[in-house]
Each structure stands twice: as structure tokens, then as C-alpha cells.
Amino acid sequence: MPDVQSLVREKAQAAHDAAVAMSILRSGEKNKALLAMAQALVTHAEEILQANAEDMARAQANAMKTSMQDRLRLTPERIAGMAEGLRQVAQLKDPVGEVIGGSTLPNGLTITKVRVPIGVVGIIYEARPNVTADAIGLCLKSGNTVVLKGGSEALHSNRTIAKILSEAAQKEGVPAGAVQFIDVTDRQAVTELIRMNGLVDVVIPRGSARLIQAVVQNATVPVIETGAGVCHTFVDETADCDMARKIAINAKVQRPSVCNAMETLLVHENVAQNFLPAMLDDFFKAGVTIFGCEKTQKFDEKVQPATDEDWATEYGDLRLSIKIVSGIDEALSHIARYGTRHSECIVTRDMQNAKRFQAEVDAAVVYVNASTRFTDGFEFGFGAEIGISTQKLHARGPMALPELTSYKYLVNGDGQIRG
Amino acid sequence: MPDVQSLVREKAQAAHDAAVAMSILRSGEKNKALLAMAQALVTHAEEILQANAEDMARAQANAMKTSMQDRLRLTPERIAGMAEGLRQVAQLKDPVGEVIGGSTLPNGLTITKVRVPIGVVGIIYEARPNVTADAIGLCLKSGNTVVLKGGSEALHSNRTIAKILSEAAQKEGVPAGAVQFIDVTDRQAVTELIRMNGLVDVVIPRGSARLIQAVVQNATVPVIETGAGVCHTFVDETADCDMARKIAINAKVQRPSVCNAMETLLVHENVAQNFLPAMLDDFFKAGVTIFGCEKTQKFDEKVQPATDEDWATEYGDLRLSIKIVSGIDEALSHIARYGTRHSECIVTRDMQNAKRFQAEVDAAVVYVNASTRFTDGFEFGFGAEIGISTQKLHARGPMALPELTSYKYLVNGDGQIRG
């Protein structure tokens, strides 16, 4: 057995070697491959389900949490969903080759700024096997080659999906080597992958905050940080209380496990008396556990005291912290301190405060009078999503195909030299 | 004396604390400040020259290389040049607030994608004090706050320039804290600065390949890699030999110390006999030392043998390596192996080869029939340059004001929730 470093280097080198051929593949060829890949998932559904059954058996033997088991489990419907996802990616506009700028210089040189693939994209993810198909589809469509390192819990499922997709893609002219799957469970593989400068152009970690921070702290390859969301909704003094309640309930309970769900509700002290009793009632009926500041606790004895840690926690479930604030200044400074630059919302009728909130909150998406749950590539109309960036370099917020590209300048002359 | 870590953290925190106020400063206010800063440099020229004299005295005592002494030296003219640079930045279009996309969703939500400052920019540089003024000007104009760590050789000069500019900026309403200068020579300060996640949003190293690699290898904050340029010119079979000679001479000798200068000339074997004798003559007349492959050596006994290391070296002076290749395939694979993704050129009359070279070379700027020396923010018409990115994330090639920005999504609704 080769050592992990050699294995990862070999995979990264293969993806690197395939990158130029992949970058110049035409849209029509890529789309044909994506459709064939979708078909291959359906054709080989039984093989995928068998591999998944092995992962599920081990998960059950290891007493994996039910919610994690649910993410790991594949069904014929879920496989059909993965295939449909690939067909949708085939329909999307190819970002590669788009001319995004340019000029003719006084000396006659023409400069054309054109979108090109990033090159080799590393994807590091956890127990959701559908990410394997999503990531391969999006990377190939945007002309990139891809190196995948999934969670060990899903090894059999991921390996099988990657093999099926890679074979189907190759049959349709995608260069051999364009899809690389790191077929080991050793965590060392992640450490190696994120230090393959010169072979890997970017790594995108998808999963828990712990995984993402480990990648950010140890990578020498550029990273796009995704995911962690401690999202706030601030109910301003002038808010429409009914609207605010609907937005807050939706932001918390419609799907509490995702990163754009609300974790903290901030309430202007002048509206608390009108707003909070019915709001708390809604939350309790929905099964939400509330951690509140001292003032909030006075509204209902079921409100538990919030600690400093609560303000900084992405619960990801039916828990919520609530703080009564003296106004927009305190709301802004609370968000600046505890927010994760993901999605933040103000509910208000005050135009001045709406404008100020959007200008001063440092986050990927800043809402006025709408649920933070809309932060999503599909909801935004991008047709796809590879993740939600919470950093400010390269891409911010929902990332789709254009965010998987770079650009280069093509300069054409007829002998120009610099004076 | 506080320890270096605390000192750097304090500076980064101050820049972070000033970031929101800086981000919402209006263009008119920023421009007024830039003009006042330019004036302050002129008014305080004597103070700057005195500080620079201290640095120069130490440089001479330490027998610093003459070329480095030249970079370090300030004169009244150079100070006037720095001031003029700030005035030019004041004239440039402010990228902040530019709407770069948006849509109205079927549910009525409006999405506006708007340019915002990155936040806190760390600049790590070496012995050129003019970088202090350039970087402060560009960062403030683009609404960022800045933390500077310059080379210890220029400490007195940099400190004085930063102090003068910071004071002048503050008088005109730039938030206190927006300009931070790390006033120590300890190299540990760099290590601390590049790990200030949560306080510093990006670091841009400017200087030697060694400095840049040290930053890339050790940073946990996102980095924009700049600079190293092993640039090639490929003279194709069908090249106009006179044009090729002019382009090659310009790319090598017009300013050999800069990153967009040519380091390797690749010559198609079928044109070598026609092209090389006069070309070598030009180079020798210009004082260029040539390291060539075996075939090249046969053209002139003054050609020295090239080693594998030569192909990978950014000489930065009047040395050049030359290789005779069998055609465009060998040229492309040589560039893929030894190029640094900076600037590459083909001289050809063959449209097919021109197109293929531009499609397949993975570099920031790919030229047909023009000198690589044009890779420059001013030459490209950007009006400024903070560096030349050789990575593919966020920014590639010459970086000016827009490359110092990120974006955020402003979403406006009237109570929309997700179904």
C-alpha cells in the first residue's frame, strides 16, 4: 500500500495533468457528458444502493446519530434526484469563455478579459454522498478537474458514485484524470490535499465548522471558507409585528439544520411588549427552546438564561437565543461581534434604519423584511450551488458556476513593445 | 515593551474596528483626504528625507547592495512622485457601491449585488518606502483599512510616511485607526499578522519570491500571491523575425529587474537558422548573458550551457535562457512546467497557433505578438496597481482598485418567507 502522501500527490497530479484538456472542452461536449453521467447513476442505481447499504450497516453498528444516518442514506428517489441535479447542471449556461471586460489601448493592443476554469478544485466534505455527484457535475461543467475527499462514513457510497460518474464522463470525451476520488479513510489525506500547492488551485471544505476551521488553519492552497452561519434577525422599533413573527418563525423552524437558519433574534426594547408574547408563543408551539437575556426571561418563565456562548453558537436545531436591545446601534454591534458574516436581517418600516443596516452589517447577504432562509444558490436563481462563502475573497454568499471560474487576459498585438 | 503578538493584534484590532466607518465613507470625502495626504507629503518632505537618511546610513554601514540602496533612497523628486501618485488615485473611479448584478425573484424579492471594501488589508513588503504611500492610498480609496509591515531596512522612512499620511487623512475625516503601521523590525510580526483571522481579511505580500512563499506557506488569513515571473516568449515557425527580435529585446532588456520581463526565449527549430544569429547579436550587444540548450550553443560559442535550474529561474537581470523546441507542443509543455502563470507570449503569423497558445497557456496574461512588459496596471489602463496576482482566486494579473473590493448581496422584501 502506498503511503497517503504519495497517493494524494498522485491523484492531484493526475487532476493537474488533465486540467488543460478539461479547460478547453466545449460546452456541448460537457453537457453531453453530464447527461450520460445522469443516466449512468440511474442505470447503476442498484450498485450504488448496495454500496450505501455497507455504509449504513457500519453506521448502525457504530450507533451513528439518526440525523447523520439520514444524510448518509440513499434511496432510489435520492439517486434519481442526484441524476436530475446533473441534468439541471447540463442546462445551465457555461461560464467558461464569457468575455467579462476588455479594451483597446492607445498603442493598438487589444485586451480581452475572459472567464477560464480555476483548474483543479479540491472538495473536502463529510457524510452526504450526494455531494459527490453535485461537486463532480459543477466542477466539470465549469471546466475544472476535481479531487474529492469525502467522509469515511460514506466511503463505499462515494467511491461507487465517483467511479460510475468518472467512467461515464470518460466515455463521452471528458479527459481521463478529470475526476479523482481519494479512496482512503485516513485523515492525513486531507492534510496532504490542502498543501498541494502547484497542483491544486483551490480547496472548498463543506461540512461542520470543525472541518472547515481545520482546513482554513492548515491549508497552504487557497481556501474558500464556507458555511458556518450564526444568523440574526433584528426586529426594529417600527417593525410590522405580524410580518416580523412570520419571518422569524420561518427563519428558525422551516429547516433549522441549515446554515441560513436564524440562531439569534434581536428585539428593539420599544417593540418587545407588543411583539414578544405572541412571538414566544409561536416558538413554543413549534417546539423551539428559547435562551434569552434577562429582559427576555421576564416575558415567560420557560425562557432559559442565555450565556455568552449561546450568542456565538450555531445551534442547527430547534434552539434559539433572544436578546432585547436598546436600538439599531446595539443590534449592529451584537451582530458585528457574534455574526459569522453569512446572512443577517432587519425587519423595519424605517427607511433610514434599513439603509444603515444594509450598509453597516458585514455579511454575505443582508436582508430587509425577508427570511434569511433565502440565502441559497437555487433560491437566488443561480440554478446550482457548490456552497455558501463566508469569506470576502473571490466569492461571497451562494457560489454557483461563475464562482468556480477565474479569468485571464488575452492580449493581441502586432509587434508592440514598451517604451 | 509589549510582546510582538500583542502589538500586532492591537494594530489589527484597531484596523478592524475602523473598518465599518471606513467602508461607508463617501468618495468625495476619501478624495479630499487623498489630496490632503499628497500635500502633507510635500509639506513634510524634509522630515521624510531625514528619516530616509537614517535608513540610508544604516544601509551603507551594512554594505547593502547598490540596487537595493537605490530602491531605498528617497529624493525630493521621488517624494513629489509619491504625492502625484496619491493625487492620481483621487482621480480614479471609486469601485465601492458599484452595482455589479442583481435580479428580482418571482416572489418579489429584489437582489442587488454591490461592491464593498474587503475590510482590513494587510500589506507585507520590503525595502521600497514608496509602497507605503501607494498602499495606503489604494486601500483607503477602495474603502479598506490597512495594516502595513514594511522591511526593516526602511523602518524610519516607512514610519514617517505612514505617520504623516495617517495624520493628514484623519484631519479630513478618515476614521482614526484606518492606517496601522507595525513599527517593529522583528520578523515575528509578519507571522502574527498573517494569522489574524477574524481581524485581517486578506494579506498581500509584495517583494521577493522568498517573502511571498513564506507568507503563502504560513498564512491562515487569505493571501493574494503576487509577483514571481518566469515569463517566456515563444518564436513560432511562422514568426516575423524582425518583429520577434524587437519584442524579445524589449521583453528582456527594457527593464530586466521587473516580474514581467522575459526569462526564457523558446525558438521553433525551423526558424532558428533565420532568427537566432541576429537575435543573439542583439542580446550580446545589449550585454545579455545567454544560457542555451545544446542546439542553441551551436549558434555561438558565447552561449553558456543552460541547466535545469536555469529554466526555472527568475533572473531579474541581464541573463536569459534560450531553448530551441520542436514546435508549439514542446513550447506549451515547457511553459506548463517552468512558467509561473504570470505572462507568456507567442510571436506567430499562424492564427491557429495563436488561438491555441492563448487557450492552453495557464497564465494571467497571454500575449500574441507583443512584449510581456505590458503586464502592468498602468499600461492596462487601470490607473493604479497594488500588485500582479499569479494565483487564480479572486484576482489574476494586474490588480487595481476593483480587485481591492469584495461584494455583498442586498435583499429587499416585504415579508417573504421560504416555502
Residues A10 and A75 in one domain: yes
My answer on whether A340 and A283 are in the same domain is: yes
Name the maximum alpha-carbon separation found in chain A.
80
Q: Which residues of B touch A249 (CB under 8 A)?
A: 417
∠ CA A198-A203-A206 to the nearest 5 degrees?
A: 170
A408 touches chain B (CB under 8 A): yes
Residues B347 and B250 in one domain: yes
* A173 assigned to some structural domain: yes
Of A150, A220, A136, A138, which Cα lies nearest the Cα of A185? A150
Q: A289: domain range?
A: 231-374
CA of A142 vs chain B CAs: smallest distance (Å): 14
- Domain shared by A327 and A352, yes or no: yes
- Does any domain span residue B419? no
Helix or strand run (H / E) with residue B272: helix B269-285
Separation in Å, CA of B45 to nearest CA in chain A = 30
Q: Is A398 helix (H, G, I), strand (E, B) or coil?
A: strand
Contact A374 B247 (CB under 8 A): no
What does the pLDDT look like over B317-375, one tens digit per residue? 999 999 999 999 999 999 999 999 999 999 999 999 999 999 999 999 999 999 999 99
- CATH number of the domain residue A357 falls in: 3.40.309.10
Q: Is residue B207 part of a domain?
A: yes
For residue A84, what is the enclosing H or E element? helix A76-91
Q: In tens digits, what is the pLDDT along chain A, a chain of 419 residues?
A: 569 999 999 999 999 999 999 999 999 999 999 999 999 999 999 999 999 999 999 999 999 988 889 889 999 999 999 999 999 999 999 999 999 999 999 999 999 999 999 999 999 998 789 999 999 999 999 999 999 999 999 999 999 999 999 999 999 999 999 999 999 988 899 999 999 999 999 999 998 888 898 999 999 999 998 878 999 999 999 999 999 999 999 999 999 988 999 999 999 999 999 999 999 999 999 999 999 999 999 999 999 999 999 999 999 899 999 999 999 999 999 999 999 999 999 999 999 999 999 999 999 999 999 999 999 999 999 998 999 999 999 999 999 999 999 999 999 999 999 99
| Chain B residues in contact with A391 (beta carbon < 8 A) | 201, 222
**CB contact residues (below 8 A), chain A span 16-55, against chain B:** 19-20, 23-24
Q: Are residues A220 and A235 in the same domain?
A: no
Residues A188 and A334 in one domain: no
Taking residue A66's Cβ as centre, other Cβ atoms within 10 Å add up to 8
**In this predicted model, what pLDDT tens digit does every residue of B162-194 receive, in sequence order?**
999 999 999 999 999 999 999 998 889 999 999
pLDDT at A120: 98
Of A360, A366, A397, the CB nearest to B24: A360
User: What's the confidence (pLDDT) of residue B165?
Assistant: 98
Based on the fold, state whether residues A325 and A239 are members of the same structural domain.
yes
pLDDT digit string, tens, across residues B375-408: 999 999 999 899 999 999 999 999 999 999 999 9
Query: For residue A118, what is the domain's CATH number?
Result: 3.40.605.10
CB A238 within 8 A of CB A267: no
B 313-342 residues inside an 8 A Cβ radius of A:
336
Q: How far is CA B21 from CA A212, A360, B33, B92, B144, in A?
A: 30, 8, 15, 21, 10
- Give A18-68 as a 3 state SS string: CHHHHHCCCHHHHHHHHHHHHHHHHHCHHHHHHHHHHHHHHHHHCCCCHHH
* Partner residue opposite B364 with nearest CB, options A251, A408, A417: A408
Q: Are B129 and B160 in contact (CB under 8 A)?
A: no
Which residues pair with residue A235 across a beta bridge?
A267, A347
Residues 205-234 in A contacting B (C-alpha not used; CB under 8 Å): 216-217, 220, 222-224
Model confidence at B271: pLDDT above 60: yes
A273 near B CB under 8 A:
no
Q: Is residue A140 part of a domain?
A: yes
Q: Is residue B297 a part of any domain in this protein?
A: yes
Domain annotation covers residue A321: yes
Name every chain A residue with its beta carbon within 8 A of the beta carbon of B370. Answer: 109, 411-417
Instruction: Tell me the three cell numbers of residue B88.
Output: 492620481
Q: Does A362 touch chain B (CB under 8 A)?
A: yes
Q: Quick check: A381 and B224 CB within 8 A?
A: no
Asked if A103's CB is within 8 angstroms of B254's CB, the reply is no
Q: For chain B, give the mean pLDDT.
A: 96
List Cα–Cα distances, B407 to A42, A65, A351, B95, B201, in angstroms: 40, 38, 22, 10, 13
Checking if the pLDDT of B228 tops 90, the result is no
DSSP state of A207: S
Which residues of chain A have a CB within 8 Å of the CB of B366? 408-411
Q: B220–A224: do the CB atoms touch at under 8 Å? A: no
In a domain, B384, yes or no: no
Question: Is residue B1 very low, low, confident or very high in pLDDT (cuts 50, 70, 90)?
Answer: low
Query: In Å, how far from its chain's centre is CA B342?
Result: 11
**Whole-angstrom Cα Rg for chain A:** 24
**Dist. CA B29–CA B31, nearest whole Å:** 5
The answer to whether residue B383 is domain-embedded is no
A393: nearest CB among B103, B202, B367: B202
Task: Give per-residue pLDDT as tens, B6-58.
Answer: 999 999 999 999 999 999 999 999 999 999 999 999 999 999 999 999 999 99
pLDDT for A101 equals: 96
Considering only residues 377 to 406 of chain A, which have any Cβ-Cβ distance to chain B shorter than 8 Å? 379-381, 391-394, 396-397, 406
Q: Is B392's CB within 8 Å of A202's CB?
A: yes
Q: How many domains would you assign to chain B?
A: 2
Please tell me whether residues B179 and B36 are part of one structural domain. Answer: yes
| Residue B254 to residue A417, Cβ atoms within 8 A | yes
Contact A392 B254 (CB under 8 A): no
B118 in contact with chain A, both atoms CB, cutoff 8 A: yes
Give the nearest chain A residue to B371 (CA atoms). Answer: A417
Cβ B233 vs Cβ B372: under 8 Å: yes
**Chain B: nearest CA to A60, how far in angstroms?**
33
Asked whether residue A216 falls in the same domain as residue A240, the answer is no
Residue B172 grid coordinates? 479630513
Task: Check CB contact of B158 with chain A, cutoff 8 Å.
Answer: no
| B220 → closest Cβ in A216, A370, A412 | A216
CA distance B347 to B332: 13
Q: Which candidate from A24, A109, A362 shows the least CB-CB separation from B360? A: A24
**B323 and B215 together in one domain:** no
Question: Touching check for B112 and chain A: CB below 8 Å?
Answer: no
Choose among B362, B374, B394: nearest Cβ to A394.
Answer: B394
Identify whether residues A206 and A303 lie together within a single domain.
no
Put simply, whether A13 touches B (Cβ < 8 Å) is no
For residue B233, give every residue at least 6 positions away whose Cβ sits within 8 Å of its Cβ, in sequence order, or none: B244, B247, B248, B251, B262, B264, B265, B266, B344, B345, B346, B347, B372
Q: Do B359 and A396 touch (CB under 8 A)?
A: no
Asked whether residue B210 falls in the same domain as residue B240, the answer is no
Alpha carbon B381 to its chain centroid, in Å, reads 15
Distance in angstroms (rounded) separating the CA atoms of residues A327 and A306: 19
